[in-house]
């Protein structure tokens, strides 16, 4: 990956299936950033059977939001790790105005700042098709799509060759709840970042190649070049 001079911290905001995970993985690997995905961190807790994982599992299976305190602590711990000193992508966090305010406090206390909050704008009807065809490598969080982003070998992770699977929350009823929560709890946060002049909206309905170009433009110049 290519090291950049300034360390930049970015927040990725978007509905489930908007492409946050796909592109944070690319951005991380291109510019040597660290990726902090609260969803992946929580799934890791579930997989290793911790008490926190047990608590999160029931909530996530229903498509609800895990309590702010839990995710805030996770982010705080991750952000302080040495590999995040060169910059970080926050994927799926913050998700509520309360989390955004708390995140600002954490950054301020550490003498850090936020470079941009990128909003992946996608219509709801696209989400179902995306999540219906999604396959994930659960241990790493790498995400594929049977049609739009197929793995090199069907059903296998490109890096490890291990099996890919469907996420348990990628079922119609849970997707519906996740989308409702996005509209009621996460979308109001856009205004919060807009007022601070930090919001960049990208057209995440375009092809993966096009979305990637838009993200790189924001990352390099701080400006959105198309919507």
Q: Are 110 and 79 in contact (CB under 8 A)?
A: yes
Question: To which H or E segment does residue 8 belong?
Answer: strand 8-14
Joined together, the tokens standing for residue 108 give 């301020």
Count of chain residues binding ligand AP5 (CB under 6 A) = 35
Residue with Cβ nearer ligand AP5 (6 or 125): 125
Binding to ligand AP5 (CB under 6 A): which residues in 111-150? 130, 133-134, 143-145, 148-149
The answer to whether residue 208 forms part of the interface with ligand AP5 (CB under 6 A) is yes
* Residue 54: active-site member: no
Cβ 6 to ligand AP5, closest distance in Å? 25
Strand order in the sheet with 8-14: 34-37, 87-91, 8-14, 116-121, 199-203
Closest by CA to 92, choosing from 113, 109, 71, is 71
Cα 24 from Cα 118, distance rounded (Å): 11
- Quickly tell me which residue has 């608590």 as its tokens: 55
Q: Mask 50-69, x = binds ligand AP5 (CB under 6 A)?
A: ---------xx--xxxx---
The answer to whether residue 200 forms part of the interface with ligand AP5 (CB under 6 A) is no
Cα 71 from Cα 85, distance rounded (Å): 20
Residue with Cβ nearer ligand AP5 (69 or 194): 69
Piece in contact with ligand AP5 (CB under 6 A), picked from 15-23, 76-84, 111-119, 192-200: 15-23
Give the binding site for ligand AP5 (CB under 6 A): 14, 16-22, 38-39, 42, 59-60, 63-66, 71, 92-93, 95, 99, 130, 133-134, 143-145, 148-149, 178, 204, 207-208, 211
């Amino acid at each position: 990956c290519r090291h950049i001079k300034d360390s930049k911290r970015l927040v990725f905001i978007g509905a489930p299936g908007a492409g946050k995970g796909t592109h944070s993985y690319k951005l991380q690997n291109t510019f040597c950033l660290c990726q902090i995905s609260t969803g992946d961190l929580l799934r890791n807790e579930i997989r290793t059977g911790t008490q926190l994982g047990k608590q999160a599992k029931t909530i996530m299976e229903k498509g609800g939001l895990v309590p702010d305190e839990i995710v805030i602590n996770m982010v705080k711990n991750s952000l302080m790790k040495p590999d995040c000193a060169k910059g970080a992508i926050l994927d799926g966090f913050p998700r509520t105005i309360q989390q955004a305010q708390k995140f600002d406090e954490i950054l301020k206390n550490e003498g850090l700042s936020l470079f941009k909050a990128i909003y992946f704008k996608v219509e709801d009807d696209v989400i179902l098709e995306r999540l219906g065809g999604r396959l994930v490598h659960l241990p790493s969080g790498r995400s594929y799509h049977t049609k739009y982003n197929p793995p090199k070998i069907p059903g296998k992770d490109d890096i490890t060759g291990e099996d890919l699977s469907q996420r348990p929350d990628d079922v119609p009823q849970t997707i519906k709840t996740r989308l409702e929560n996005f509209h009621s709890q996460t979308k109001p946060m856009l205004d919060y970042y807009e007022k601070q002049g930090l919001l960049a909206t990208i057209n995440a309905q375009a092809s993966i190649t096009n979305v990637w170009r838009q993200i790189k433009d924001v990352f390099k110049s701080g400006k959105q070049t198309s919507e």
